[in-house]
Structure 1
């Protein structure tokens, strides 16, 4: 007479498997919540980058219009008397700054503004739909944000150094009784509107440096996203390996049951 064996697993085994499934479910929910928080943080930073880019681009465009396309950055000049008998001085521009400097920082500001707006909208869509980037897209975002960090830092440095050179020229290295900010209220008789140049570049500097800090934070979060996806792939590989081991053990157990003693 054949000895019958139950095909059902023991009660302890079933309870432990349910515990493992519950633990995996909790871990999956925690990781999804952490991923949603990461995406939300990226979305907020992209929105801030858009705002700071807008703050930088507007005064740069206004200054280009006021100066008739001439670039104030790295401009050199000096004060001279109009004639021997009259002590009135006039600021003479020796060399205007290259237009490529102002064009470059304006282009970087507009590019940062547009890219941040697109990324913020895309991540907001992902957050609402529950989607996520692939590993390739996450790495591509990290690469793009790193390039933007470098270019925004370069443009911010150009604005700060170039504007300081202009202020040194217009104040003769700080020997003038008026500061660079005060001289924007003085007609320099350059055939252009210089009534707001200090405020315009002060706001532009703030916008660019704030945008650089924001993009630096975006790059850090993009790196964390790539690292999270990499760890997630490792977890999936380990789960697949564990599943294969369980299936092989189950098949061996079934084969042992079939060849049991008679």
Structure 2
């Protein structure tokens, strides 16, 4: 298998994995947004308050959300996941088409692929950091800075007495967080593979005009020999002919 086919096959595999990882970001974020009624749990602030209710014996502690997180924090992560799915599906199809047709991108198209991959790599890395920090902030709010008798993962099994469904928030956000970091790693891999394909295309573009000349040199003559005129006959030959 030639180098370009190996690179194409590797790039196609990475695109297929990025589609799966992107879906594992989009689906949990969509489920969490539906359970929280369109509110974003990332970077939300609040406190615990204890109240005495007449119908219940003893005091009841419940979480009070002072301010929900900015919607852009959740939307940005979802956007990166959606773009990864669409781009991975389109580029995966192109790689399969190139494998079947036994050709590759042009030099300019390869350069644009490298540029786009690097840009989205930084976007996905930023979205991963935002999602991780936002989840830590929400967990600190839920566990009251780790003073509650339960962890953040266990808090989804305890009643928080909010007007949203919190029965699976940690599983959804944690899955989206891990998947988004995988998306970032895959974009890094795509950037490296795209650069290798660009370098390979550039090398072939440089060496292509030299191949016929090298072939003729290996055969023992240069291209100028075949185009040079035949040497003139000597004067003695002319006299004999006369």
Q: Same fold (TM over 0.5)?
A: yes
**Following TM superposition, by how much is the alpha carbon of 1:83 offset from its aligned partner in structure 2, in angstroms?**
4.4
For residues 31-110 of structure 1, the aligned pairs below 5 Å read: 33-83=2-52, 86-110=58-82
Partner of 2:186: helix, strand, or coil? Answer: helix
Structure 2 spans left out of the alignment, 5+ residues: 238-242
Matched, 1:128 2:97: no
Q: Which residue of 2 is the match for residue 204 of structure 1?
A: 176
Superposed CA offset, 1:52-86 (max 9, x none)? 00111110000000000000000011111124995
Match of 1:247 among 223, 230, 237: 223
Q: Are the aligned partners of 2:53 and 2:60 in contact in 1 as well (CA < 8 Å)?
A: no
**Following TM superposition, by how much is the alpha carbon of 1:238 offset from its aligned partner in structure 2, in angstroms?**
2.9
Q: Distance in 2 between matches of 1:125 and 1:187?
A: 53
Q: Which residue of 1 is the match for residue 192 of structure 2?
A: 220
Partner of 1:185: helix, strand, or coil? Answer: coil
Q: Which residue of 2 is the match for residue 187 of structure 1?
A: 159
Q: Distance in 1 between matches of 2:159 and 2:31?
A: 18
Q: Are the aligned partners of 2:125 and 2:181 in contact in 1 as well (CA < 8 Å)?
A: yes
Q: Superposition RMSD on alpha carbons, in Å?
A: 2.0
Q: Distance in 1 between matches of 2:40 and 2:233?
A: 91
Report the more deviating stretch, 162-171 or 143-152: 143-152
Structure 1 spans left out of the alignment, 5+ residues: 1-29
Partner of 1:174: helix, strand, or coil? Answer: coil
For residues 11-50 of structure 1, the aligned pairs below 5 Å read: 33-50=2-19
**Following TM superposition, by how much is the alpha carbon of 1:198 offset from its aligned partner in structure 2, in angstroms?**
0.4
The number of residue pairs the alignment matches comes to: 228
**TM-score normalized by the length of structure 1:** 0.82
Partner of 2:222: helix, strand, or coil? Answer: helix
Partner of 1:82: helix, strand, or coil? Answer: strand
**Following TM superposition, by how much is the alpha carbon of 1:173 offset from its aligned partner in structure 2, in angstroms?**
1.4
**TM-score normalized by the length of structure 2:** 0.88
Q: Which residue of 1 is the match for residue 231 of structure 2?
A: 258
Q: Which residue of 1 is the match for residue 240 of structure 2?
A: none
